[in-house]
Chains A and B, each alone.
Chain A
Amino acid sequence: MNGGETPRNEDGTNTPSEPERQQLTGRQRLAAGLWPPRVTRAQLIVAVLLFVLGLGLAIQVTSNNDDSALRGARQEDLVRILDELDNRTQRLEDEKQRLDAQRTELETSSDQAEEARKQTREKEQQLGILAGTVAAQGPGITLTINDPSGTVEPDMLLDAIQELRAAGAEAIQVNDVRVVADTYFSGTGGDVQVDGKAVTAPYVFKVIGKPQDLEPALNIPGGVVQTLEKEQATATVTRAEKIIVDALRPAKRPDYARSSAQ
């Protein structure tokens, strides 16, 4: 290192250097320049220039800290940044629209699914009334058949059921047996079975339907009521605003028949 220094010191021959300064090392020169402070022309000039440098440095640093990075940026940089921001805005706008559309789609589809579920539930209720798996209530009539002498045959009860169905009965129960599509009557007078379950007199038919249709259907001349009365049985029909058919039967899955809807 010292070998590198020597030629540099010799280069300084064009400077007004005294012979004794040649002997000083760099460190000694630095110390001599710093202390004691001497007011020389060189010191003053350098001080002025360093003042300017410090001023510029401080201004630049504060202006960089004060504002965003945009303050010192050149015009082309600003244009580029603006372009990038525009592109970014565009991209985000597109994404927002896409997500909005997706949200709308999801909302409508969930609405549709909800609607389909609702319809399915309603249909299940309707079919449940037909199949006898749910209780039903509504206006209708009660047909009570008293059979003191045991002369009412099962086919007479079946006739009554058919007559009621023809008159638009929607749900029927005999005593505590629900009458559905595959209901059958068996036995003999005084020992009647409905769907294999024994029912005893008095036979109480709870029927939901339009009372104005159901009652005349039973009372017509030569109809159910007259036929029963010929057999020494008594049949009374009473209308009611609210009939509850609450005898149920379990849902049965058909073994062979399948829906051909799909």
Chain B
Amino acid sequence: MIAVLGLVVGVVVGLLVRPEVPAVVEPYLPIAVVAALDAVFGGLRAMLDGIFVDKVFVVSFLSNVVVAALIVFLGDKLGVGAQLSTGVVVVFGIRIFSNAAAIRRHVFRA
């Protein structure tokens, strides 16, 4: 419950404060958000499976974000940033879908 509250508060604060994102971080923010979403869906699935460990969640969340940003950064340096970020988004999208399918089976039993 507190976790859900944290998400809601984050969205509200982001909408109200409208902080300026530094230009260096800007290209990586969308990818980082997608990576974090993947980690959250993975965590939710683990919770439903009864194998949720907070340490694993923290590590997977942070490493997802960092690795995704790193891949995009590397892609930018190599001149294939657009393609690589597309690839990253595709991979995370597939993972989110499979996690969502598992969650659906738990919640709706279907």
Chain A contact residues, CB within 8 Å of chain B: 1, 4-5, 8-9, 11-12, 15, 17, 21-22, 24-27, 29-30, 33-39, 41-60, 62-63, 71-72, 74-77
Q: What B residues does A1 contact at CB under 8 A?
A: 105, 109-110
Interface of B is mostly: helix
Decide: A54 and B27 in contact? CB cutoff 8 A: no
Given contacts A12-B51, A45-B54, A47-B2, whether A59 and B29 have CB atoms under 8 Å apart is yes
CA distance A193 to B21 in the complex (A): 110
Given contacts A46-B57, A57-B33, 14 further A-B contacts (CB under 8 A): A5-B49, A26-B107, A27-B48, A37-B2, A46-B43, A47-B2, A53-B7, A53-B37, A57-B10, A58-B11, A58-B12, A58-B14, A62-B14, A77-B82
Name 24 A/B residue pairs within 8 A (Cβ), A-sorted: A15-B53, A17-B50, A26-B107, A27-B106, A27-B107, A29-B47, A30-B48, A38-B1, A44-B2, A45-B57, A45-B58, A47-B2, A47-B6, A50-B3, A53-B36, A54-B12, A54-B13, A55-B14, A56-B32, A57-B10, A57-B14, A58-B13, A59-B19, A63-B21
Q: What B residues does A75 contact at CB under 8 A?
A: 76
- Render B43-72 as a binary contact track against A, CB cut-off 8 A, 1 for contact: 100011111111001100100000000000
Decide: B54 and A41 in contact? CB cutoff 8 A: yes
Decide: B76 and A74 in contact? CB cutoff 8 A: yes
CA distance A45 to B2 in the complex (A): 10
Distance in Å: Cβ of B73 to nearest Cβ of chain A: 11
Decide: A33 and B51 in contact? CB cutoff 8 A: no
Decide: B3 and A46 in contact? CB cutoff 8 A: yes
| Chain B residue nearest to A34 in the complex (CB) | B1
Interface residues of B in 26-42 (CB under 8 A from A): 26-27, 29-30, 32-33, 36-37, 39-40
Given contacts A21-B50, A54-B11, A57-B33, whether A43 and B107 have CB atoms under 8 Å apart is no
Distance in Å: Cβ of B53 to nearest Cβ of chain A: 6
The 7 closest A-B CB pairs, nearest first, are A54-B10, A58-B14, A26-B106, A47-B6, A12-B51, A26-B48, A37-B1
CA distance A144 to B38 in the complex (A): 119
- Most A CB within 10 A of own CB, among B12, B15, B79: B15
Given contacts A42-B54, A62-B18, whether A50 and B7 have CB atoms under 8 Å apart is yes
CA distance A1 to B48 in the complex (A): 14
Distance in Å: Cβ of B2 to nearest Cβ of chain A: 4
Q: What A residues does B24 contact at CB under 8 A?
A: none
Decide: B61 and A49 in contact? CB cutoff 8 A: yes
Q: Looking at the complex, which one of B29, B50, B57, B110 makes contact with A60 (CB distance below 8 Å)?
A: B29
